[in-house]
A and B are shown apart, each in its own frame.
Chain A
């Protein structure tokens, strides 16, 4: 008799666990894991490790609400465990490095760090596409728009048209946003250590 009582309590406990897991299962089914778009950047000050970032971000949306250029978007219908976390797509709208999102974030997902320490990625110029590198014209838009300046991007030595990315680049993506080439001759990619 005692064993049967124990079994019944165990079954009730398992039913409780299964019932408790049900809403999580349904909501997870609604957000399938999509292939990550390499152009998506995390906002400035984000924890470097993506697992740490997902574990720290509560998905409150404050970073996007204070963003003046409204460049911060969210994975709303996909992303699996990273659903509702913020990203910036510089092809649509890029970060202006104002730092408001770092200040407003209630968690340590975005930390307040000095501008030169921000690491959203590093710009890469596609020399087979960029107009000055192909000698197809004069541009320099990326160099002009860069908020960091000479430490991040300037012109190749002895050439005043061909842009070259330097180590000081913080990956804000303003150069991507402004690039006049239809296929975009510059991209921001994660910095390889």
Chain B
């Protein structure tokens, strides 16, 4: 059962990305509706109108008003009058303005609670940039098949905390929210809106393309792992998360598939999860012996040694396996 969670995750990511594309089109459609302008539209605009009308007419009586129910991006959204914001936006705003606006702080409460319980789940399950980064990782595997060197550089994982700290300092110093221009999910949501509704990408697209190149040529998922300030914040918030992936040493056969598949370069086969793990469940999906499962605990299991189905354990016996009762 657990091995299908990764498909659910990819479906969720795709759905969120599709919503970010659909919402600007709905916004345009609403403005056409509000102006009663069908007869004045160009043929292409009429096609857009017809398509959106076909999509939404069974849900709405008054599209111009009712379609306001779901608006926004993952940076900040308004869903049926419930306002949800990215915790990083709140932290950045507090730093930039040197004051707390409590309604905005409250809008980040649900994401903060979820992050404390589930860790960096946003990075694996929600972030619209993750979909593109994972496609980018697949692209780098194809390029390797063509003979290009794969991105294998490693940096210090603590770099992203430096980015978070520097971003806060810059926000305090300049009075503008610096995270908004380098944080990929904020960039994606915004740039899709700019491209569709305002007719042109902004500068964020260039920056995002640079991060894709960095991932493709220098370090696999390098931006998320080493530079993303949001990832840094969620890693800190989710340090003592309750839901963790843990290895059942009795079922592990040391095949290393999980270590290879982990986009974040973690080592599930050696019980190395830590605060970087975003519970994406990709390792569960590839495990041939179902040795990875969820566990409710505040800390990871200590290193359990070789898997009991693996060659090392079978050769040397149970005496060499720590954590065995």
Q: Which residues on the B side are within 8 Å of A55 (C-beta)?
A: 93, 96-98, 175-177
Asked if A117 is at the interface of the complex by the 8 Å CB criterion, the answer is: no
Asked if B319 is at the interface of the complex by the 8 Å CB criterion, the answer is: no
Bound Cα distance from A68 to B197, whole angstroms: 12
Q: Which bracket fits the contact residues of B?
A: 35 or more
The smallest beta-carbon distance between A19 and chain B, in angstroms, is 5
Bound Cα distance from A175 to B92, whole angstroms: 38
Contact between A84 and B202, CB atoms less than 8 A apart? yes
Question: Which residues of B in the span 46-62 have a Cβ within 8 Å of any Cβ on A?
Answer: none
Bound Cα distance from A21 to B168, whole angstroms: 11
Q: Chain A: which residue is nearest B96 at the CB level? A: A55
Question: Which residues of B in the span 178-208 have a Cβ within 8 Å of any Cβ on A?
Answer: 178, 180-182, 186, 189-190, 193-194, 197-198, 200-204, 206-207
Q: Chain B: which residue is nearest A69 at the CB level? A: B31
Asked if A168 is at the interface of the complex by the 8 Å CB criterion, the answer is: no
Given A59-B190, A84-B180, A106-B83, A26 and B75 contact (CB-CB distance below 8 Å): no
Q: Which residues on the B side are within 8 Å of A16 (C-beta)?
A: 156, 158-159, 162
Name which of A55, A74, A76, A81 has the most chain B CB atoms within 10 A of its CB: A55
Contact between B93 and A84, CB atoms less than 8 A apart? no
Q: Which residues on the A side are within 8 Å of B12 (C-beta)?
A: none
Bound Cα distance from A73 to B194, whole angstroms: 9
Segment touching A, from B2-10, B21-29, B269-277, B293-301? B21-29
Interface string of B150-180 (1 = CB under 8 A from A): 0000001011001111110010001111101
Contact between B194 and A76, CB atoms less than 8 A apart? yes
Contact between A69 and B203, CB atoms less than 8 A apart? no
The smallest beta-carbon distance between A52 and chain B, in angstroms, is 7
Bound Cα distance from A20 to B179, whole angstroms: 12
Subset of 16 A-B contacts with CB under 8 Å: A23-B182, A23-B227, A54-B175, A55-B96, A56-B97, A58-B177, A58-B180, A59-B180, A62-B77, A68-B35, A70-B27, A76-B201, A78-B203, A80-B176, A83-B203, A107-B104
A interface residues with partner B (beta carbon < 8 Å): 16-17, 19-21, 23-24, 26-28, 30-31, 51-52, 54-62, 64-70, 73-74, 76-78, 80-84, 100, 104, 106-108
